[in-house]
Structures are given as C-alpha cells and as structure tokens.
C-alpha cells in the first residue's frame, strides 16, 4: 500500500493538501485561506465522481499562551506514511481487526514561531484528524478553546442526542436520541449536542465522534447552534463535577489532541460495522489478556433494589446464573451493608457454581454527592490499589464503577487510573454514569463495557420510557453501540415501575442486536427460569463475544436486523420499532453461502408469547420472519 497525498501549489507556498484512503474512496483535504486560517473538507470518490460530505470546516486551537487560529505559516509536510495494523480484542463487534490508513502530517508556525501540526488519516471507512504540538517543553500549557467544526454538506437528517444538564446524576449520555431531525437543528438546551452524531445526506451516511481521548484533554461535545449544518466543538460544562476541577486541559509538550473522527459510508452497514474508533487508539498495555473473559451476567438490582444488602437474595441470582450457564453475577450498590453473609462468602459460593462475581462501586470523591456505597475508594489512589488487591485475593472478576458525571480532564484521568489499577490485579471494568466510549478498550482490554445510554433501568425512573424505548432501541445500534460496547442491561421480560410496550420477542432480540462485553440480563430469576424451552435455551447459549458482526437490514427509528458470528453459528436478532406488524424477507447474501439449519424464535399470538420452530434455509433463500408491532425475533443458524 502506498499513501496517496495530493499537493497543490509549490514549495512552502502550498495552500492545499489532500490524502486519499487506501482504496481511494475517501479524500481528506486541508486548505489555507487568504487570511492564513485552516479549513478542511471530506469527499467520497466513486466511479470518477467526487461527492463532498463535509464542506469547508474550521480548524484551530487557542492555547493559553498562543493562538493557532490564523496567520499560520506552512513550513512543510512530513513524509506521508501508511498505517497497517492487525490486532485482536476480547470484546467488541469483531474479534480480529485490520486497520489500514494513509496519513499526512502538515507543519505550521504561528506569528511568533510556535509550532503546530495537523495530522490527518484516511481509511476506507472514514477519516480522522488531530492536532499536535511537536516541541519539547516541561512547562504546563493549556487549551482555552478549540475551533474545530464539522460542516455537514447538504440537507438531510440527523440522529443526535442532547447533552445532559448538570444534575446530581448527570451528565451521563443518557438522553433520548432525536429521531431523524433536520440537519442544523438547534439543540433544546444551551449544553448542546453529544457525540456520536449520525447523519444521512444525499451523498451518504456520516457518524461524527472522537477517539483516543486521554487524561491530558477534555471529552468534547458539540455547541447547541449548528448554522447551515456546521457543528462545532464544545468543552465540558463549567458546572460539571461540582466545580471541583477545571474543564481547561493542561500538559507539557509535546502534546496531542484526541482524534476527531468522521465515519463515512454509502450505506448504514458501513457505519455500523466500522471499528475505526477503537483502531485509532494506542495498542494494548496488558501483555497477558487471557483472564479477560466476556460473558453474560445475572443482575439482582433491577428487579429487587434492596437485594445487594441481602446475602440470600444474591444467592438466588448466583444459582440462576449457574442454571442458565451464565458466567457472572453482578452485586450492585450498598453491598457493604449486606446481612446474612458477606461478599467474600458469596464469591466463594459463586465459584463453587462456576459463576464469577462482579462488584459495584461509587466513583466517589469530591466530584459527586451520590450517597450509594461503597464510595470514596475508587477516587483515592491508595485505597483503590488496596481494594483491587483485596478483590483479586477473593477471586472477584470485575467491577462496575458508577457516577462520574463529567468529561473534564481530571475525571478522564480517573477512568485511566481505575483501568490500570484493575488490570494490575486482573480485574475487568464496566463504567456506569459515565462518558462515551472513545476506543479505550484497545489500550485497556479489561474495559468490557460502558453505559452512556438510556437503558432498561429507565423503566424504573421514567414514565415516558416504555413509549420511547420501542423506537429508541432501533436507533442505538446505528449510533451509541457503533463506538463501543453498551451496557443497556437488556432482555427484561418482567416489568419495573413502568411496564413494557415492546414484545417478548423484541426483548429477546436485544441479546444479539446490542453488543456488550458483559451482557447484564436484568430481569428477575423467575422470568428466565420459567421461559419456554426455545427462548430459555437460546439465552443459555447466545454469547457476548463475537467473531464478526454484520448489519443485514434496518433504518434508525424503524427497525434493525443484526447478524453476529460466534464459532460456527450465526446469531441473528431483529427488532421492529414501528406500530405495524411486519413480514420480513431478510437477505442473507452477506453471510457465507451455504445451507443452514436454524432455530427461529419470534413473537407469538400476543406480545408476551413466543413462537419457535426449526427451519432450514437453503443457499440463496431469504429468511422469512413475521413480527408484531414493536416486536422482534432471534435465529441461530448452523
């Protein structure tokens, strides 16, 4: 592979530079205007035609000591390079990832001779760019503002989530996605919009987000106004983390920003199946990953809030996990108040049943005032290290750390500190009340899932959730779940405070449609143990780790049909987000062309019944499925 970089003009008087993806289907261009500001654009190339998907969009940073927003002098380009990496992950939409990209690095100086680089990569599934200050200086520098924008070219629709207002429990990326609103719509609140944002225009599909955020930068979101479709970077809200830390990042030099990422495809499958976000992150820091084991978990809290304080209640969920063949059981908040036994005893009991225990923690510290226990351990370096050593000695397999509520740099650092200390003790991590995935699970593969979604626990808190979930669920596979594992806590057949509108078939399908390195099944024990044989056996065998994932059909807000491969079996899950019954004929041509024997489980006569049958699907045939309104199905093809 040879990197293709296109130059315009001569010498250091060049004013335009482009890099092409390996297959030359995407082009990323940086231009210098007459006022020496920098803009970029992104185009799709197909059949000799160039279609712009991102129009001229601003670049630039305002550092505390210097401006890099205008009057920049081009000083040269480093030799263009090729990126070619293959790596494996224990969790995610596919096991082995091959990443290829072409990269160019442009060097500029401001009026006082201080240096900045714009590094751009183009791969076949999207483009990414970042800033870098290449000089070496041990003084601390700050970023006061980032000018980066994304001018979505043309009219169309967006599926985008408002950023949270600051409350005791937020921000946490737990709002509803807007369902196909016009591009450029003003956000409902002054806090703006979230990543990832999905766009459909006449020229294709885009998903805009960020990757490789580290503890020297802030987690970004988007300003509320997007005039003409120009979305621009917004720093964390000043009120986040109870004003205990600043949203302004500080670092010595050299210093790199996160990658600004634009996934590009002419169809939704190209967006959903992309692993661009995780590919842009540094390689794994864990040499021996054999202890990182994805799986399924029972979870008592959703159906029985006091249960973490009662040993016998937790034993029932351990026993249920053992009967279902699930690998884990999660012990949630306030377990340190447990009566009738303790966590160490529970862990030993679970181990005798071949079930691993996962433990909940409040992220604690001065940044939140949530009282759930235990707290003030994960925020204290000494206590945290001691706690992980203790958990490892007990045989605890993972932790769920909750209530971060900020994207400020100090809070981002806390995530990384937890991941490292957990890895040192071979403990897996699931973050809740947390920021958005940025691909950290490549560097720290013990990060098995993150929340950052309005999930099934909302059946307990939000009277509007049942009405919203029926179509909200069909947006998540194209948005939130694209960028990383998503702990929605799905497959709830029992009801919480506000009852479901989705069918049992829809709920069962979420075990395949949604990807999470540990899939926490949230219903009560009776809901799973009394299932008919077919859905019960399906939940016993459906894995949480996948060799490959393929979007077979769907459209955000309407439906989604996902196929995921494990070993020699393809699992298919489909959900209907419309109020009409559907008779689907699903094209399987992207799966290996062979004859399949399959178990098909779909909606029964009512929303709380199943219909199951053994079928065969011959090479070239379509999978025919009927589902109810807000219904769904699963199939296992061997």
**For the segment 378-429, what is each residue's pLDDT rounded down to a tens digit?**
999 999 999 999 999 999 999 999 999 999 999 999 999 999 999 999 999 9
* pLDDT tens track for 201-245: 999 999 999 999 999 999 999 999 999 999 999 999 999 999 999
* Separation between Cα atoms, residue 31 and residue 37, nearest integer Å: 8
Q: Which stretches of 85-230 are DSSP H helices?
A: none
Average pLDDT over residues 452-469: 97
pLDDT confidence of residue 35: 86
pLDDT confidence of residue 80: 75
- pLDDT bin (cut points 50, 70, 90) of residue 448 is very high
Average pLDDT over residues 547-570: 98
Average pLDDT over residues 78-83: 87
What SS3 state is found at 216? coil
* pLDDT tens track for 93-152: 999 999 999 999 999 999 999 999 999 999 999 999 999 999 999 999 999 999 999 999
Orientation of helix 533-541 relative to helix 504-513, angle to 10°: 20
* pLDDT tens track for 208-220: 999 999 999 999 9
Is 70 exceeded by the pLDDT of residue 57?
Answer: yes
Average pLDDT over residues 608-634: 97
Length of the chain: 638
* Separation between Cα atoms, residue 157 and residue 67, nearest integer Å: 35
* Of residues 346, 350, 328, 359, the one with CA closest to residue 430: 359
* Separation between Cα atoms, residue 307 and residue 210, nearest integer Å: 38
* Of residues 79, 81, 73, 85, the one with CA closest to residue 115: 73
pLDDT confidence of residue 10: 40
* C-beta of residue 484 within 8 angstroms of C-beta of residue 444: no
**Owner of token pair 């249960």:** 307
* pLDDT tens track for 253-303: 999 999 999 999 999 999 999 999 999 999 999 999 999 999 999 999 999
- pLDDT bin (cut points 50, 70, 90) of residue 12 is low
Average pLDDT, the chain: 96
- pLDDT bin (cut points 50, 70, 90) of residue 79 is confident
């Amino acid at each position: 592979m040879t990197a293709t970089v296109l130059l315009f003009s001569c010498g250091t008087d060049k004013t335009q530079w482009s890099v092409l993806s390996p297959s030359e289907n995407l082009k990323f261009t940086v231009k210098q205007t007459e006022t020496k500001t920098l803009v970029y654009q992104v185009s799709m190339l197909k059949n000799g035609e160039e279609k712009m998907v991102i129009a001229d969009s601003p670049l630039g940073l305002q550092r505390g000591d210097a401006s890099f927003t205008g009057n920049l002098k081009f000083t040269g380009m480093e030799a263009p390079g090729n990126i070619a990496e293959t790596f494996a992950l224990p969790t995610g939409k596919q096991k082995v990832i091959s990443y290829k990209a072409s990269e160019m690095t442009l060097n500029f100086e401001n009026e006082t001779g201080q240096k900045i680089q714009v590094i751009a990569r183009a791969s076949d599934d999207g483009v990414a760019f970042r800033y870098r200050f290449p000089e070496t200086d041990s003084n601390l520098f700050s970023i006061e503002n980032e000018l980066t924008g994304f001018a979505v070219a043309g009219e169309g629709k967006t599926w985008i989530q408002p950023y949270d207002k600051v409350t005791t429990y937020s921000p946490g990326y737990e709002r509803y996605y807007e369902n196909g609103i016009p591009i450029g719509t003003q956000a409902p609140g002054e806090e703006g919009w979230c990543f990832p944002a999905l766009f459909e225009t006449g020229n294709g599909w885009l998903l805009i987000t960020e990757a490789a955020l580290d503890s020297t930068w802030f987690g970004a979101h988007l300003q509320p106004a997007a005039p003409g479709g120009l979305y621009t970077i917004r720093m964390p809200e000043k009120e986040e983390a109870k004003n205990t830390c600043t949203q302004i990042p500080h670092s010595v030099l050299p210093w790199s920003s996160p990658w600004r990422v634009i996934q590009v495809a002419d169809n939704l499958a190209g967006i959903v199946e992309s692993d661009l976000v995780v590919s842009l992150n540094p390689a794994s820091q864990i040499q021996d990953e054999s202890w990182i084991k994805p799986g399924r978990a029972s979870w008592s809290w959703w159906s029985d809030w006091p249960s973490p304080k009662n040993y016998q209640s937790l034993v029932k969920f351990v026993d249920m996990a053992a009967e279902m063949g699930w690998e884990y059981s999660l012990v949630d908040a306030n377990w340190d108040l447990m009566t009738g036994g303790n966590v160490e005893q529970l862990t030993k009991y679970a181990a005798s049943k071949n079930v691993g225990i996962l433990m909940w923690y409040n992220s604690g510290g001065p940044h939140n005032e949530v009282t759930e226990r235990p707290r003030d351990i994960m925020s204290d370096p000494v206590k945290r290290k001691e706690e992980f050593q203790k958990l490892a000695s007990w045989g605890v397999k993972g932790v769920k750390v909750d209530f971060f509520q900020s994207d400020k740099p100090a809070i981002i650092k806390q995530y990384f500190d937890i991941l490292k200390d957990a890895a040192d003790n071979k403990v897996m991590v699931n973050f809740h009340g947390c920021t958005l995935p940025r691909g950290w699970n490549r560097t720290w593969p013990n990060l098995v899932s993150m929340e950052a979604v309005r999930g099934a626990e909302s059946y307990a808190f939000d009277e509007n959730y049942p009405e919203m979930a029926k179509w909200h669920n069909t947006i998540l596979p194209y948005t939130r779940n694209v960028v990383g594992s998503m702990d929605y806590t799905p497959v709830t057949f029992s009801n919480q405070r506000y009852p479901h509108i989705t069918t049992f078939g829809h709920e069962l399908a979420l075990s395949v449609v949604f990807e999470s390195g540990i899939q926490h099944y949230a219903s009560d024990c009776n809901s799973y143990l009394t299932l008919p044989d077919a859905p019960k056996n399906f939940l016993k065998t459906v894995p949480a780790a996948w060799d490959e994932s393929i979007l077979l059909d769907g459209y955000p807000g309407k439906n989604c049909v996902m196929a995921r491969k494990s070993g020699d079996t393809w699992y298919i899950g489909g959900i209907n987000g419309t109020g009409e019954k559907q008779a689907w004929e699903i094209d399987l041509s992207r799966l290996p062309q062979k004859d399949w024997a399959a178990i098909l489980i779909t909606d029964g006569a009512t929303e709380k019944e199943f219909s199951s049958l053994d079928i065969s699907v011959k090479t070239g045939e379509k999978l025919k499925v009927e589902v109810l309104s807000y219904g769904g199905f699963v199939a296992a093809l061997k």
